[in-house]
Amino acid sequence: MAKPRISPVRWRPPPSRPLPPPDPTPPLQVVEIPGTAAEDVVVDADGAIWTGLEDGRIIAVGPGAAPPRVMTDTGGRPLGLAFTRDHRLLICDSHRGLLRFDPKTGHLETLVSHVAGRPLTFCSNAVEASDGTIYFTESTDRFRYEYYKASVIEARASGSLLRRTPDGATTVLASGLHFANGVTLTADESAVVFAESTGCRLSKYWLTGPRAGSITGLVSELPGHPDNISTGRDGRIWVAMVSDRNPLSEWLSPRAPVLRTLLWRLLPYRWLPDTKSGAWVIGFDADDGRVLSQFRSTDPAFGLATGVVEAGDRLWLGRINGPGLAYFQL
């Protein structure tokens, strides 16, 4: 497939602020699965871990020693996942939009395929509130998952935070985001927390109180790129950090756009600036953004961690590329 055209802009990435040293990190346990690029991970009411694969399949692993099993196939590229209050699965699919799967009936339906008359291009992650409202992100409205590097190289703020109410109405809550990605609710549902991967920050969209409808920062100037996020049992915000920052990409962003246009045209896609492999996850305080815990592994068997969920005494990780799931023993 021919690469799509890009239209880069000058953009200066935010400064990078160092974090406290990582906690003593337990060994990373890798679990084999029948497929690759298990981008996000969620846990169901029975304790099984669900993930979506590069070929469109949704699989469940466990609980216990139960072997992996295929639950459905979206026919696209599933990314972020979330279970609803009635145990159905929300699926952000870069090709098809926001989907919902019912494990009891096997029914797969499309909830949102278009926004303001245009296709939902890069549905990234979703979460459902207790009243049935769904909050979800679109990383960019310009490219699909296969060309996520195009959005990074362009440096345009083309991501959004959106809301779907139970009656099916969809609203853009915030636009102009730098690769909007993971989204979760605070434990008391007072705010939606969302990540901007290239913006290197987490923010809160307030749902209640005097700040309702406004956005405030939670964590900024991260030394890496946050991907999918989730809320832990004690209310902390778990963040899968897909990579450290890329020095070449950050050097290019504020310079003449023609440089990036030439790189995009001349270099094979795989040679363009990319993420650096690793398994890195941080737990932040949902109120003030303090680092509560941090685990980093350089195990060559698993890297590019993009999904995280706390399940029992384990912290499960998904990945954007390669085989397997992994977990840390908490």
State the DSSP H helix or E strand holding residue 10, giving kind and residue range, or none if neither. none
CATH 3.20.20.70 fits 28-329, yes or no: no
Given a cut of 50, the residues of the chain with pLDDT beneath it are none
pLDDT at 1: 65
Q: What is the pLDDT of residue 15?
A: 97
| Amino acid at position 323, single letter | P
Distance CA 190, CA 207 (A): 5
CA contacts within 13 A on the Cβ side of 41: 30
In sign, the C-alpha dihedral spanning 294, 203, 97, 233 is positive
Strands (E), 215-284: 215-219, 224-231, 237-244, 279-284
C-alpha separations of 303 from 125, 283, 320 in Å? 20, 18, 8
CA distance 252 to 206: 34
Asked whether the CA dihedral 87, 28, 33, 244 is positive or negative, the reply is positive
- Asked whether 193 and 183 are in contact (CB, 8 A), the reply is yes
Domain ranges in the chain?
A: 28-329
Whether 96 and 109 have beta carbons less than 8 Å apart is answered as no
Helices (H), the chain: 148-154, 247-252, 257-266
Alpha-carbon gap, residue 330 to 151, rounded angstroms = 35
